[in-house]
Amino acid sequence: MNQRTVLYVEDNEYNRKIVRQLLSKTSYRLVEAFDGESGIASALELRPDLILMDVQLPKISGLDATRTLRADERTKDTPIVIITSFAMSGDRERATDAGASGYLAKPYSPRELLALLRKFLPEEA
Amino acid sequence: MRWVAGIEASLHTKLMAAFGVVTVLFVAMAAFGVHTVVKTTQQAKLLDEAHQRVDWSQQVEQALARQMQFSVLALLSQDEAAIARILRENNRFNELLAKLDAVERAEQHDLVEQVRVSQDEAMAVVADIANAIRDRTLGNVTRELLAHQERLDVEIGARVARLVDAEQRRMGALRDSIASANRELLVTTGILSLSAVLLAWLCGFVISWSVIVPVREAQGFLDHVATGSFDRRVVLPNRDEFGALAQRMNRMSEELQKLDRMKVDAATELAQLNTRLERASRAKSEFLSNMSHELRTPLNAILGFTEMIADGLYGEVPEELKDPLNDVQINGRHLLRLINEVLDLAKIEAGHMELALDDYSPPELIGAVRTSLRSLAEEKGLRFVTDVAADVPIARGDSGRLTQCLMNLTGNALKFTRSGEVCIGAARQGDELVYRVSDTGIGIPPEEIDNVFAEFRQVDATVTRKFGGTGLGLSISKKFIEMHGGRIWVESRVGVGSTFFFSVPLRVGESAT
């Protein structure tokens, strides 16, 4: 069993559904969380192979959650891709400063998301 | 000094008064001097007269002595010729006496009269002597006559001596009087000139200080005013020109203070207004920014699902659905572009926009813009070319934002051109890089040229409906270019076409060398 686990932290049901259906055709296993707090809890508990983190989240923002996970021994090396709806200059820097491995602007194309995912985490055959 | 300053009179009057008092003192001194000179001159004349009188009196004495001599001689020689000499002496004596009497004062009149009576008596004796000589009876009466004559002589001599004595006493008194008048003149002149000098000095001192003090006060006051604080007032005891000046300065200061207060109030009001405006502006920007986020989230779902359907994620897409699915995607992307523009403007206005500076290749940037818009040009059957000068080097700037500007300008050019050509170009001009987008489109009327970069403006409101777009693209491009330190402008002729230019520094963020 060589299945790779992806954690997607996103509060919007439809966006989660897109990723769920997108990844259903792949070998990735998807775990979902609705806010920053449960996202951190799931990440620390399940130790996913990659985390997709939305920026605007209830309770704890995606950037703060990323900082928390980077500070933790268990998740400090886990790739984290930040997804932001502020496609502005400075957003990328802020994401990188928080410890993000990658950056994706919303609205993202599912094709691009999958490409980025495969770049960081090659699907196991 | 304060008292002098407080006198209700002009400075001119005060100075004139001071000079007047000093002048009066000098005039008094001169008058007294003249008076003394006149007096002493008079007394000197009197002294001269007294001298004369003493002289005459002494001559009277001499005449008397000679008369006596001649009487004795007449008696001894019993010669009538001697009588004639006596009479001659008598005449001289009488002349002198008459002179004395003419100038003598009342108290001496009696004395002269007595002398004259005695002389008359003496002359009677001489007549007796002459008779006795003629009658040859002298021998009997010689002794008697001689005795009588001697007695009279002594008597006259004593009286003349008294006259002389009186005159000499008067002369002494005159001399004393002259000396005392001189002494008096000296003392009075001394006192007067000393007081004149002291008074002149005092007046000069007091009046000059009654001027210097207010001038210094005014200087201090004006220095204070010059620093921009108007809370002080000049307080002067002066009721002269300086008093009037101080009143006006105080009025000026009050007016300035009033104006200053008004200015401060206005500034405060302005600052409050500014704060309110800033807050309102920030609230607006935050609202727009939040709205953009809220709009993007469902749009992400719409575009995501559409793409996955089109990609066949849910199974084969029937042929007749491919076209409407494409329309959904095109309109979804258009909606996204509109939202992006609104968000950009909100970010720029909130001051949250920063440039991401990097080295980039202008030909590559232009090539990318052409690639992404080529299909649009092909659809409309337009020639779509690029023209980059060979000497354009690697530049530094925010390539993402510059791409956005070129996309916007080129998109507009393609939109507003029905036939002909659209060209994207770049050329180096010194330390600047000039991009241009030219078309053979509808053009912009001259009166609208200034408005094209304003927000929410297109040449004609109907244009917006016909060609689409928010009308924000140009104003956003203008702001991006200005953030780079560049500028944007347009040259256009209606019916011929437009060329939009924008220049940016070749190396943004690096000082020009």
- pLDDT over 90 percentage in chain B: 18
Q: Sort out which chain A residues have CB atoms less than 8 A from B343's CB and list them.
A: 86-88
Query: What is the per-residue pLDDT for B410?
Result: 92
* B62 has a pLDDT exceeding 90: no
Q: Sort out which chain B residues have CB atoms less than 8 A from A85's CB and list them.
A: 292-293, 296-297, 300
- Average pLDDT of B58-63? 81
More confident residue, B54 or B427: B427
- Give the separation between CA B83 and CA B125, rounded to whole angstroms: 11
Q: Determine which of B286, B290, B297, B360 to mutate to test the interface with A (most A C-beta atoms within 10 Å).
A: B297
Tokens of B47: 């002294």
User: Could you read off the pLDDT of B207-240 as tens digits, one per residue?
Assistant: 888 888 888 888 888 898 888 888 888 888 878 8
Answer whether A21 sits within 8 Å of B401, measured CB to CB: no
Q: Which of B169, B173, B124 has its CA nearest to residue B145?
A: B124
Q: In what order do the strands lie in the sheet with A29-33?
A: A29-33, A5-9, A50-54, A80-84, A102-105
User: Could you read off the pLDDT of A67-94 as tens digits, one per residue?
Assistant: 998 898 888 888 999 988 765 556 777 7
Query: What is the per-residue pLDDT for B471?
Result: 66
Q: Sort out which chain A residues have CB atoms less than 8 A from B314's CB and list them.
A: 21
Note the pTM of the prediction, 2 decimals: 0.50
**β pairing state of B383-388 and B421-429:** parallel
Query: What is the per-residue pLDDT for A86?
Result: 63
From B297, B304, B343, residue closest to A110, measured CB to CB: B304
Q: Sort out which chain A residues have CB atoms less than 8 A from B344's CB and list them.
A: 88
- The mean pLDDT value of chain B amounts to 84
* B455 has a pLDDT exceeding 70: no
- pLDDT over 90 percentage in chain A: 30
Range in A2-11, A114-123, B146-155, B401-410 the model is least confident about: B146-155
User: Could you read off the pLDDT of B128-170 as tens digits, one per residue?
Assistant: 878 877 787 767 777 777 787 788 888 888 887 887 888 788 8
Let me know: does B50 contact B167? Beta carbons within 8 Å: yes
Residues 6+ apart with CB under 8 A from B60: B93, B96, B97, B100, B115, B160, B163
- Average pLDDT of A36-45? 90
Query: What is the per-residue pLDDT for B15?
Result: 86
Answer whether B301 sits within 8 Å of A18, measured CB to CB: yes
Query: What is the per-residue pLDDT for B383?
Result: 92
Query: What is the per-residue pLDDT for B107?
Result: 67
* B100 has a pLDDT exceeding 80: no
* B265 has a pLDDT exceeding 90: yes
Listed by start position, the domains of chain B span 2-216, 240-352, 354-505
Residues 6+ apart with CB under 8 A from B161: B61
Query: Which residue is closest to B332 within chain A, CA to CA?
Result: A107
* B461 has a pLDDT exceeding 60: no
Q: Please say whether the dihedral angle defined by the alpha carbons of residues B177, B178, B181 and B187, taken in this order, is positive or negative.
A: negative
Q: Which CATH number is B240-352 given?
A: 1.10.287.130
Tokens of A47: 């130790």
Cis bond upstream, residue A122 (ω within 30) = no
* pLDDT category of residue B363 using cuts at 50, 70 and 90: very high
Q: What number of helices (H) and strands (E) belong to chain B?
A: 11, 7
Q: Which fold has domain B354-505?
A: Heat Shock Protein 90 (3.30.565)
Q: DSSP letter for B178, please.
A: H
Let me know: does A43 contact A64? Beta carbons within 8 Å: no
CA angle (B193 as vertex; B188, B196 as ends), nearest 5: 125
* A6 has a pLDDT exceeding 70: yes
User: Could you read off the pLDDT of B18-44 as tens digits, one per residue?
Assistant: 889 888 888 988 898 898 889 889 888
- Ramachandran angles phi, psi of B276, nearest 5°: -60, -45
- The mean pLDDT value of chain A amounts to 86
- Give the separation between CA B451 and CA B471, rounded to whole angstroms: 11
* pLDDT category of residue B459 using cuts at 50, 70 and 90: very low
Q: Sort out which chain B residues have CB atoms less than 8 A from A92's CB and list them.
A: 356
Q: Count the alpha carbons within 13 Å of B291 in the hemisphere toward its beta carbon.
A: 16
Q: What number of helices (H) and strands (E) belong to chain A?
A: 5, 5
Q: In what order do the strands lie in the sheet with B432-439?
A: B383-388, B421-429, B432-439, B497-505, B487-493
Among left, alpha and beta (phi > 0; psi -120 to 50; other), residue B356 is: beta
CA distance A72 to chain B (A): 30
A58: amino acid identity, one letter: P
Q: Domains in chain A, ordered, with CATH?
A: 5-120 (3.40.50.2300)
From B301, B336, B344, residue closest to A15, measured CB to CB: B301
Beta bridge partners of B500: B437, B490
* B466 has a pLDDT exceeding 50: no
**Are both B240-352 and B354-505 of the same fold?**
no
